[in-house]
Amino acid sequence: MSKKKKIWIAGGVVLALGLILFFSIKASQRDEVLVQTSKVVRKDALKAQVSASGQIRAKEFVELQSETAGVIIDLPIREGDKVTKGDVLLKIDPIQTQAQTSSAQAQYEAAMTEIRGQQFQIANADQNLASSEAALISARAELAQAENNVARARSSFQRSQQLHEEGLISRDEYEQAQNSLKGVQSQYEVSKSRLSQMETQVAVAKNNIEQMRRSFEASQARLKSQEAQLTQATDQQRKTTITAPLTGVITQLNVEKGERAVPGVLNSPQATLMVIADLSVIQAELKVDETDIVNLALGNSAQVKVDALPEEVFDGEVSEIGNSPISTSAAATQEAKDFKVIVTLKVPTTKIRPGMSCTADITTDTRNNILAIPIQALTIREVEVDKDGNYVEPDLSKPKKTETIAQADSSNKSKINKKELEGVFVVTKENLARFRPVKTGITGESEIEVKSNLQEGEVIVSGSFQTLRNLKDGAFVKIDTTAKTEATKSSS
């Protein structure tokens, strides 16, 4: 080989080494961001769930309180006993209520006797009124007859007076006719007075009867009042014996024989004698945050865990959703609101007791055969959009504008439409992080459904949070393999 050829070969080698060194230095000077990545995976099923806590309760339970004050003289049951509807639970000393009942009974009977006496008086007054009305009719007839007699006597006297003036009859006959007229007139006045008396008597009798009837109505009202008092006293006496309103178990007993039962005031818990619960249907009463309550619906399936039974999980379904928030103190009006949700357990166990603490995971939605990504991979960026609001991907092949050019174009900023979009950073083959908007669906425990703009198997940036928050579109990234190794070790 000639010396000249060897020089050319040596020069080519040096040049190649120089180029390799140059590109290595350039590559080392390129800014790379250390990121954690995940892949877009296809899930057979993804469930959206709402978690809440609460306590166990029976669907049907009764807090028994006394309506009668008194000393408990009989208490044949104990806490935990099973009772049947109608069984005697306790008895209160009935002496006072019996006395009140006897007094009310006596007053009621006295009022009834008074009513009957007034009815008899009214009947007699009606008969007397009928007799007086008959006598009034007779008096009117007698007055009419007296009027006729006066008319005939006056005519006879006028004839006798004319005959006497003509000298055809004697004076004795004239005076006899005159006396006869006066007698008939006197009888007329007597009949007229008797008629007036009878009219007054009938009017007085009617007034007396009306007064009797009003007094009778008042007595009837008093009788109803006495009857109501008797009913109340009888009811109070009956309530000295308290019976079971339903079939169930005595889950709480707060009194003992010899203690004094006090009537409850405004549902005071101190007045509760005992609690009876039907344990055949067990429910979980939960407090759900206002941000989650909108996602719930009747019939949603749920899994309930009782703190006292950590190894068991009970299936149930939502049977009741509160329409109003659970009331709290006035000072907490600015705090988050909780709503009551009832989950009915399908197959409860006898180990569960009302009042036990519990937690529940309520499934609000389920999607099958969908694409999913980690929730932490989602981010929000302010990006350019066209007039229709669609994302405009920036062209990285164009050189970046200098500061002078950027200042010159500041007047055109108003023409650029920008909008905040939710999306992910996809890692390309060139290890570039490119922002891509996505449309999401339901959210699972740690994953979220992706409906569009991603393909199964694509690599996306999923962490760390600080890195993802500051990551720029088009930045070079380097995958952090140490995080995956540690996650694999912890899972194994």
> What's the pLDDT tens digit per position in 57-106?
999 999 898 888 899 999 999 998 999 999 999 999 999 999 999 999 99
Supply the pLDDT for residue 400: 53
Banded model confidence at residue 10, pLDDT cuts 50, 70, 90: low
Banded model confidence at residue 154, pLDDT cuts 50, 70, 90: confident
Count of CB atoms situated within 10 Å of the CB of 467: 19
Beta strands in 208-299 (DSSP E): 241-243, 248-253, 260-261, 272-289
Question: Which spans in 256-348 are helix H?
Answer: 290-293
Question: Which spans in 239-346 are helix H?
Answer: 290-293
In order of their start, the domains of the chain are 30-46+372-491 (2.40.420.20), 67-93+240-263 (2.40.50.100), 96-236 (1.10.287.620)
Q: What are phi and psi of 358, to 5 degrees?
A: -155, 160
Supply the pLDDT for residue 390: 87
Supply the pLDDT for residue 406: 46
The average confidence (pLDDT) of the chain is: 85
Class of residue 49 by CB neighbours under 10 A (exposed 0-12, middle 13-18, buried 19+): buried
Residue 84: closest CA among 275, 249, 241, 239: 249
> What's the pLDDT tens digit per position in 20-45?
555 444 444 457 899 999 999 999 99
Residue that the structure tokens 């009719």 belong to: 137
Residue 261 has pLDDT above 80, yes or no: yes
5-14, 176-185, 481-490: the lowest-pLDDT one: 481-490
Residue that the structure tokens 């006035």 belong to: 330
Residue 284: closest CA among 253, 250, 309, 249: 309
Average pLDDT over residues 204-213: 92
Residue 376 has pLDDT above 50, yes or no: yes
- Find the helix or strand (DSSP H, E) in which 191 lies: helix 171-238
Q: Which long-range contacts (CB under 8 A, 24 or more apart) does 479-487 make?
A: 479/35, 479/36, 479/37, 479/427, 480/34, 480/35, 480/36, 483/36, 484/36
User: Does the CA dihedral 147-150-155-158 come out positive or negative?
Assistant: negative
